[in-house]
A and B are shown apart, each in its own frame.
Chain A
Amino acid sequence: MKLKGAEIVVETLIEQNIKTIFGYPGGTVIDIYDQLYKKSDRINHVLTAHEQGAAHAADGYARATGDIGVVLATSGPGATNLVTGIATAYLDSVPLLAITGNVPNTLIGRDSFQEIDITGITLPITKHNFLVHDVEDLADTIREAIRIAKSGRPGPVLVDIPKDVQGASCEFTYKAPVEKTALKPADDKLVHDAAALIAESNRPYIYFGGGAVRAGAGALISELADKIDAVIGCSMMGLSELPTQLDRFLGMQGMHGHYASSKAMAKADLIIGVGVRFSDRATGDTEKFSKGARKIQIDADFAELGKNVDLELGCACDISDFLRKLIDAVDYKRNPNWMTKIDKLREQEAAQEYQGFLPRDAVMAAAALNDEDTDVVTDVGQHQMWVAQYYDFKKKRTWISSGGLGTMGFGMGAAIGAAYGSKKRTVLFTGDGSFGMNLNELATAVTYNVPVTVVLFNNGVLGMVRQWQTLFYNKTYSNTTLDRKTDFVKLAESFGAKGYKAENLEEFKEAFAEANKAEGPVVIDLTIDKDDLVMPMMKPGGSFDRLILATEEENRHE
């Protein structure tokens, strides 16, 4: 059948099993919106308050479902507003399709109204992007964009479509949904070599990240650890792939990781990295990082191997296949001395916990009141680290947070997207700084009655930057004291949402339980102390030998 470009865009998305897209209309996408209106029984469009919110929503949807997220925006400012969202998805390897309109082909290059070179702008933050000059190429370009976004190490792909291409007609035939390009199977020799390294090690540590989440490799990691008597730690991006309470799992390591997890990594003689990039927030100074340990790295992306740390062995392949083969190839072994050492580290960690720390208690209370499969979204800052440290994760893919880019303002859009993905109440933890960036999306949540509980850790300051100023800048609090006088309960109500104020744990629990019974969005404004710190902490560019501990910091105050 002969269709116009705009209709081809929508039909191709439907053909590719896209159920929900997020976006914002404008001059160069009116034709596509016209088609979305006509086909609204077959594809759902969510109108956000701002294109950035739409991009984060598509990202949150993708993270919650494991499927691709789709965002649509107009040319010029519509397209540039997507940039932070696309970059966020790129740094966390989230499959995202961004579709933008552009001025007609004949006007490109003339600085026309709302014309911008969005393929040029997004070049370094997309896996690939396309500018479609000819309607004949349109359907296949969208299909190929989806294939690229989902395959290998996933990531965002942008398709820019000039307005005249949307108006031109050509023959359209349905095709099957695209298949992901299969990952390479694990190389048997490398599996064998890895097994040999494991046999020689006495202190193995399995370190996994977002790649393991993407591959759903948690069970295999746990099985391998059991067989070779290893402990397990993860990067922030790896959270929720294994249950927090799993015995061998020491939790997140890194700059604000668990004491035992970071220390064990520093003392290990073999680190097996699974879908993790050894980022600077996880390793500190790479020269000093786990010097005594040999390193194995398994990743879907060959460019990750040895990028940040030197390796003994690297394999770019299907992570699950490698783990399965490795479990068969290794001998059962015990490392009693290592386990004794780990127990000591755990005792030391437990000794550092102090009572009555509201941010932790609130996170733990929320976890207890949530369902096991409630998606937990965060913004960026101290609250993010507290949730990462203390939330009791039970189900896979329930942790949604901006890791690589660290995007303040990510949360509100992402929580809306996640709620669409999971079709149930989502909890967003945010701070007054982050929430202030994209709180406009509260309007979206109200309009569509999206079940989102916003837990606002309100300390009147930009807490994480303030923490650095406290520790490393002589308490010179330059521009981190907000003191904005915003009444978040009234703000929520003025948007049409419910608002609660909580000053202590009991009030918080009550409000949270109320929120669980509500239908649409709820904001809980929880007052916390502006001098609460995220501990332990590794100094930026430091090493695990010198972690700053909560107890030390208290002593320093006295």
Chain B
Amino acid sequence: MSKNNFVIAVYVENKYGVLTRVTSMFTRRGFNIDTLTVGETESPEYSRITISLSGDRTDRMQLVSQLTKLYNVKKVEVLSNEEAIKRELLLIKVKNDLDNRAQIMDAVNVFKAKTVDYSSQAMCFEVTGDSNKIDAFIDNMKPFGIIEMCRTGIVALERGPDSILSE
């Protein structure tokens, strides 16, 4: 069966150790996570974990079932590509070099990146967008010398008026 990328939103109790329970299940069942983000939600009792990974249909069903079985998990939803808004944030530090500076700034403008730090040796940019855009920006920066970078992984919400808790 063909493997696809997909994103799963998991609504969990905001308690000590819950993230470990979720990630431990992934390890035990042999699922490989591409990205994982976690943070508070509109309700302080709950956290939202967003996981992106790749797998076939059986993997996806098994994953949702196993997540749903965890005691602290309240809701699990697979977010479709069409119906979901997905964003990632990148911080990237690039060598500041007189010869390249103009080219770098061109890319920064095209990608609507924000300059967040500037010194004679290095520049740091912030980029948000879907993962493809982030990948493309990183590719653009490679020739100029990336000193270090950090990306958040995907956060995602479904379009429209409903929440993950709606039936």
Contact of B66 among A119, A128, A303, A306 (CB under 8 A): A303
Contact of A306 among B24, B27, B61, B68 (CB under 8 A): B61
Within the assembled complex, what's the spacing in Å between the Cα atoms of A120 and B20?
9
Contacts of A128 in B (CB 8 A): 70-71
Asked if A148 contacts B71 (CB within 8 A), the reply is yes
Asked if A302 contacts B65 (CB within 8 A), the reply is yes
Q: With contacts A124-B28, A128-B71, A301-B69 known, is A119 near B17, CB below 8 A?
A: yes
Asked if B24 contacts A124 (CB within 8 A), the reply is yes
Asked if B17 contacts A307 (CB within 8 A), the reply is no
Q: Would you call B62 an interface residue if the criterion is a C-beta within 8 Å of the partner chain's C-beta atoms? A: yes
| A120 closest partner in B (C-beta) | B20
Q: Would you call B101 an interface residue if the criterion is a C-beta within 8 Å of the partner chain's C-beta atoms? A: no
Contact of A307 among B27, B62, B70 (CB under 8 A): B62
Q: Would you call A123 an interface residue if the criterion is a C-beta within 8 Å of the partner chain's C-beta atoms? A: yes
Contacts of B61 in A (CB 8 A): 306
Contacts of B21 in A (CB 8 A): 123
Within the assembled complex, what's the spacing in Å between the Cα atoms of A124 and B70?
11
Contact of B71 among A127, A301, A310 (CB under 8 A): A127
The 0/1 profile, CB within 8 Å of B marked 1, for residues 300-335 of chain A is 011101110010000000000000000000000000
Chain B residues numbered 13-68 whose CB sits less than 8 Å from any CB in chain A: 17, 20-21, 24-25, 27-28, 58, 61-62, 65-66, 68
A-B pairs with beta carbons under 8 A, tally: 29
The 0/1 profile, CB within 8 Å of B marked 1, for residues 327-345 of chain A is 0000000000000000000
Asked if B58 contacts A302 (CB within 8 A), the reply is no
The 0/1 profile, CB within 8 Å of B marked 1, for residues 272-309 of chain A is 00000000000000000000000000000111011100
Within the assembled complex, what's the spacing in Å between the Cα atoms of A307 and B65?
10
Closest-CB distance, B45 to chain A (whole angstroms): 16
Closest-CB distance, B58 to chain A (whole angstroms): 7
Closest-CB distance, B76 to chain A (whole angstroms): 12
Within the assembled complex, what's the spacing in Å between the Cα atoms of A303 and B17?
23
Asked if B58 contacts A303 (CB within 8 A), the reply is no
Closest-CB distance, B50 to chain A (whole angstroms): 21
Within the assembled complex, what's the spacing in Å between the Cα atoms of A305 and B62?
9
Contacts of B70 in A (CB 8 A): 128
Asked if A123 contacts B20 (CB within 8 A), the reply is yes
Within the assembled complex, what's the spacing in Å between the Cα atoms of A350 and B82?
61
Within the assembled complex, what's the spacing in Å between the Cα atoms of A306 and B1?
14
Within the assembled complex, what's the spacing in Å between the Cα atoms of A128 and B22?
12
Within the assembled complex, what's the spacing in Å between the Cα atoms of A475 and B89?
60
Asked if B68 contacts A302 (CB within 8 A), the reply is yes
Closest-CB distance, A48 to chain B (whole angstroms): 29
| A301 closest partner in B (C-beta) | B69
Q: With contacts A120-B20, A123-B20, A123-B21 known, is A303 near B28, CB below 8 A?
A: no
Contacts of A123 in B (CB 8 A): 20-21, 24
Closest-CB distance, B30 to chain A (whole angstroms): 12
Contacts of A302 in B (CB 8 A): 65, 68-69
Within the assembled complex, what's the spacing in Å between the Cα atoms of A306 and B65?
11
Within the assembled complex, what's the spacing in Å between the Cα atoms of A345 and B98?
84
Of A301, A303, A305, most buried by chain B (CB within 10 Å of CB) is: A303
Within the assembled complex, what's the spacing in Å between the Cα atoms of A120 and B27?
14
Contact of B69 among A119, A120, A303, A305 (CB under 8 A): A303
Within the assembled complex, what's the spacing in Å between the Cα atoms of A148 and B58?
27
Asked if B71 contacts A306 (CB within 8 A), the reply is no
Within the assembled complex, what's the spacing in Å between the Cα atoms of A307 and B64?
12
| B27 closest partner in A (C-beta) | A124
Within the assembled complex, what's the spacing in Å between the Cα atoms of A83 and B53?
31
Within the assembled complex, what's the spacing in Å between the Cα atoms of A305 and B17?
28
Q: List 13 A-B contacts (CB under 8 A).
A: A119-B17, A120-B20, A123-B21, A124-B24, A124-B27, A127-B71, A128-B70, A128-B71, A303-B62, A303-B66, A305-B65, A306-B61, A306-B62
Interface, chain A (partner B; CB < 8 A): 119-120, 123-124, 127-128, 131, 148, 301-303, 305-307, 310
